[in-house]
């Protein structure tokens, strides 16, 4: 059976601010490898977990390295998560809870760096011994060592079994040059003991907030349902490996999500989203900002309910920075992930294009997971070390239109022998190369007014009646597998027709952007002069990971759109109780 990779990102705007680049973003061509942690850098107090993990690691290495097949690499990661969630709907509280847990993941590799149990032969993917296991939150040395011991034994047995299958299968399968690259990179070990993180949260004020925020949506008859969710999460990671790496680091994230749903008369589902993300309690959005966002969401949803459906078309289009950020994530970012160049089941769009022009020369792209903020916006794709214990890097992917590099995990490519800190995964999944903070920069910028004038000029040149203005996007997905069309689909939320004859812009609905990457990337003719940020969570082979993308607005000479999938369910027969004129004593 032919398999394919289907990646999806659920993006929500981090803010409506148009962010200037001045003082906030280095040019992608100035990339540099982050320096190693200085030996004299101040270190925090190590958790007792590290000593427990190191003791059991030494015992496991001593024995399993002498088995047949031998374990040449063992890594332990314990992730301690504290999380609070408060959710409300339509003016009432849905849930309010807080919990804490620990998750153990054990990586055992048998064979050697060139060929080990993770090797993929054709479409045959090796399996590990499972996603890991929950461990106690008590720092009980004997209990923790017992859990580590049992999980290590399970993972070793699975690795040994798969290495035998791989060696047998390799003799009868044809491999590509990319597939003959080593299975694991040699990396310098890191030692870093950072401060542990936690939060103290009074949930009651947030319970009142989500009640009030969702109640405000009831003022609009177009809103069928509303949900507001506040989340606080503190996560500490402890990582030790047989190579000598020993890491302790933590991160706190806060998020407020606003969601409303409506229906058009023909049954099409209409949604509006908005997110606030921050890492310091003092940076939480004030009520004025939240209610302003809600007012915009209501107005746009009410407009969409009455808006006509857009017919499929091809023509000039202008994407605002938020929309362009998702566009680049889907159209370019996933295809620049290193493992997609290596896997024979992948389309390998860019595998042979290093050094070639793939974008207009005024565009450069970097993936910089070392960036904490861009302007006032915290970036969700920031992290200190990836999930393979490699320090995060700034990676120049495209320099003035020319492809230079890939996002790399510890699965090397021919000519790319080292990780650049992009091995990422959701808890319970195996790391692969993933995006972090995708930053797009342009040397051919225009003001908003100039971009609009250029859009109208292109419409007239092509003999069209209108072009499209894509103002906001819910997310998108892309197919990268060889057995499927190398296509992407981006899901706009707010789209306007811009007419060449000067008529007012017209809000339309039911628009999905579709296309193929190599063609779509060459159609960009200019960009805006302000940067906008999208934060979200991206789902792919290694699960859901936090990411960010930043881009100026882009003007493209040709963009294809199709009709959005639609529900056949009609809107409710009766109006909402609060808007029923009979209940309110109106005309009978």
What is the pLDDT at residue 566?
74
What is the pLDDT at residue 129?
64
What is the pLDDT at residue 126?
61
538 DSSP 8-state letter: E
Q: Model's pTM, two decimal places?
A: 0.89
Instruction: Please state whether the peptide bond connecting residue 426 to the residue before it is cis, i.e. omega within 30 degrees of 0.
Output: no
Whether the pLDDT of residue 588 is over 80: the answer is: no
Band of pLDDT at residue 285, cut at 50, 70 and 90: very high
Mean pLDDT, rounded, for 512-517 = 90
What is the pLDDT at residue 173?
56
**pLDDT tens readout for residues 369-382:** 999 999 999 999 99
Whether the pLDDT of residue 10 is over 60: the answer is: no
Band of pLDDT at residue 179, cut at 50, 70 and 90: low
What is the pLDDT at residue 516?
87
For residue 500, what are the CA distances in angstroms to 457, 525, 555? 8, 18, 15
The more confidently predicted of residues 31 and 487 is: 487
- State the Cα–Cα distance between residues 1 and 12, nearest whole angstrom: 35
Whether the pLDDT of residue 60 is over 80: the answer is: yes
Whether the pLDDT of residue 490 is over 80: the answer is: yes
The more confidently predicted of residues 517 and 401 is: 401
- State the Cα–Cα distance between residues 403 and 18, nearest whole angstrom: 28
Structure tokens at 247: 């890491």
Helix, strand or coil for residue 176?
coil
**pLDDT tens readout for residues 247-277:** 999 999 999 999 999 999 999 999 999 999 9
CB 333 within 8 A of CB 476: no
Write the CATH number of the domain with boundaries 48-263+269-306.
Answer: 3.30.2290.10
Mean pLDDT, rounded, for 521-543 = 94
What is the residue-wise DSSP string for 193-226? EPPP------HHHHHHHHHHHHHHGGG-TT-SEE
CB 470 within 8 A of CB 560: no
Q: Which of 129-133, 205-209, 341-345, 459-463 is the least confident region?
A: 341-345
What is the pLDDT at residue 574?
85
Helix, strand or coil for residue 477?
strand
What is the pLDDT at residue 12?
37
Mean pLDDT, rounded, for 213-226 = 95
Whether the pLDDT of residue 23 is over 60: the answer is: no
Mean pLDDT, rounded, for 533-556 = 95
SS (H, E, C) 336-386: HECHHHHCCCECCCCCCCCCCECCCCCEEEEEECCCCEECCEECCCCCCEC
- Per-residue burial over 424-441, b = 16 or more CB atoms within 10 Å of its CB, e = otherwise: bbbbebbbbbbbbbbbbb
Band of pLDDT at residue 583, cut at 50, 70 and 90: low
Residues 6+ apart with CB under 8 A from 457: none
Mean pLDDT, rounded, for 55-71 = 97
Q: Which of 129-133, 160-164, 434-438, 476-480 is the least confident region?
A: 476-480
The more confidently predicted of residues 1 and 453 is: 453
**pLDDT tens readout for residues 77-134:** 999 999 999 999 999 999 999 999 999 999 999 999 999 999 987 655 666 667 899 9
Q: List, in sequence order, every beta strand (DSSP E) within 380-465.
A: 394-399, 402-403, 423-424, 432-433, 437-442, 445-446
- State the Cα–Cα distance between residues 408 and 418, nearest whole angstrom: 7
pLDDT averaged over every residue in the chain: 88
Helix, strand or coil for residue 78?
strand
Whether the pLDDT of residue 54 is over 90: the answer is: yes
| Percent above pLDDT 90 for the chain | 75
Mean pLDDT, rounded, for 432-451 = 96
Total residue count of the chain as it appears in this document? 588
What is the pLDDT at residue 131?
87
- State the Cα–Cα distance between residues 240 and 385, nearest whole angstrom: 13
- State the Cα–Cα distance between residues 498 and 240, nearest whole angstrom: 56
What is the pLDDT at residue 177?
60
**pLDDT tens readout for residues 321-332:** 999 999 999 999
What is the pLDDT at residue 180?
78
**pLDDT tens readout for residues 27-52:** 333 333 343 444 445 689 999 999 99
Domain ranges of the chain: 6-29+309-563, 48-263+269-306
Mean pLDDT, rounded, for 227-243 = 98
Mean pLDDT, rounded, for 544-552 = 97
Residues 6+ apart with CB under 8 A from 446: 454, 526, 527, 528, 529, 555
| Closest C-alpha among 363, 341, 333, 269 to residue 490 | 333
């Amino acid at each position: 059976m032919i398999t394919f990779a289907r990646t999806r990102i659920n993006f929500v705007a981090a803010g409506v601010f148009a962010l200037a680049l001045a003082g906030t973003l280095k040019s992608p061509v100035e990339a540099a490898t982050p320096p190693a942690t200085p030996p004299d850098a101040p270190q925090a107090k190590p958790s007792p977990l590290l000593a427990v993990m190191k003791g059991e690691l030494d015992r496991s290495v001593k024995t399993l390295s002498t088995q047949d097949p031998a374990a040449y690499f063992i890594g332990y990661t314990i992730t301690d998560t504290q999380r609070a969630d408060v959710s409300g709907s339509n003016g009432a509280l849905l849930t309010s809870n807080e919990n804490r847990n620990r998750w153990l993941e054990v990586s055992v590799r048998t064979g050697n760096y060139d060929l080990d149990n993770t090797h993929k032969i054709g479409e045959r993917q090796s399996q590990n011994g499972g996603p890991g296991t929950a461990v106690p939150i008590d720092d009980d040395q004997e209990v923790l060592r017992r859990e580590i011991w049992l999980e290590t034994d399970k993972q070793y047995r699975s690795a040994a079994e798969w290495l035998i299958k791989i060696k047998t299968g390799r003799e009868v399968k044809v491999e590509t040059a990319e597939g003959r690259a080593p299975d694991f990179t040699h990396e310098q070990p890191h030692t870093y003991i950072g401060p542990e993180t936690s939060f103290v949260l009074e949930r009651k004020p947030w319970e009142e907030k989500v009640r009030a925020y969702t109640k405000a949506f009831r003022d609009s008859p177009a809103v069928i349902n509303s949900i507001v969710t506040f989340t606080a999460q503190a996560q500490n990671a402890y990582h030790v490996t047989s190579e000598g790496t020993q890491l302790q680091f933590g991160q706190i994230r806060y998020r407020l999500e606003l969601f409303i749903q409506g229906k058009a008369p023909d049954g099409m589902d209409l949604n509006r989203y908005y997110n606030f993300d921050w890492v310091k309690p003092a940076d939480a959005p004030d009520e004025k900002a939240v209610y302003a966002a809600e007012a915009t969401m209501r107005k746009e949803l009410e407009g969409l309910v009455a808006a006509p459906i857009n017919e499929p078309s091809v023509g000039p289009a202008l994407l605002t920075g938020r929309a362009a950020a998702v566009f680049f994530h889907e159209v370019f970012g996933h295809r620049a992930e290193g493992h997609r160049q290596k896997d024979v089941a992948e389309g390998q769009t860019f595998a042979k294009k290093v050094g070639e022009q793939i974008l207009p020369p005024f565009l450069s792209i970097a993936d910089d997971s070392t960036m904490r903020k861009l302007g006032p916006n915290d970036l969700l794709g920031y992290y200190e070390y990836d999930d393979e214990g490699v320090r995060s890097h700034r990676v120049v992917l495209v320099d003035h239109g020319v492809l230079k590099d890939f996002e790399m995990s510890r699965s090397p490519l021919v000519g790319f022998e080292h990780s650049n800190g992009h091995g990422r995964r959701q808890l319970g999944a195996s790391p692969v190369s993933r995006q972090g903070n995708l930053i797009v920069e342009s040397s051919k910028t225009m003001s908003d007014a100039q971009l609009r004038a250029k859009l109208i000029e292109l419409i007239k040149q092509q003999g069209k009646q209108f072009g499209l203005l894509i103002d906001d996007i819910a997310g998108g997905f892309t197919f990268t597998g060889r057995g499927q069309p190398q296509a992407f689909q981006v899901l706009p939320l707010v789209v306007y027709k811009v007419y060449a004859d000067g008529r007012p812009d017209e809000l339309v609905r039911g628009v999905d952007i579709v296309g193929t990457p190599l063609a779509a990337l060459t159609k960009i003719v200019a960009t805006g002069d302000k940067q906008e940020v999208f934060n979200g969570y991206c789902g792919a082979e290694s699960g859901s990971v936090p990411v960010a993308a930043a881009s100026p607005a882009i003007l493209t000479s040709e963009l294809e759109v199709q009709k959005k999938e639609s529900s056949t369910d009609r809107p409710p027969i009766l109006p909402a109780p609060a808007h029923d004129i009979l209940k309110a004593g109106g005309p009978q």
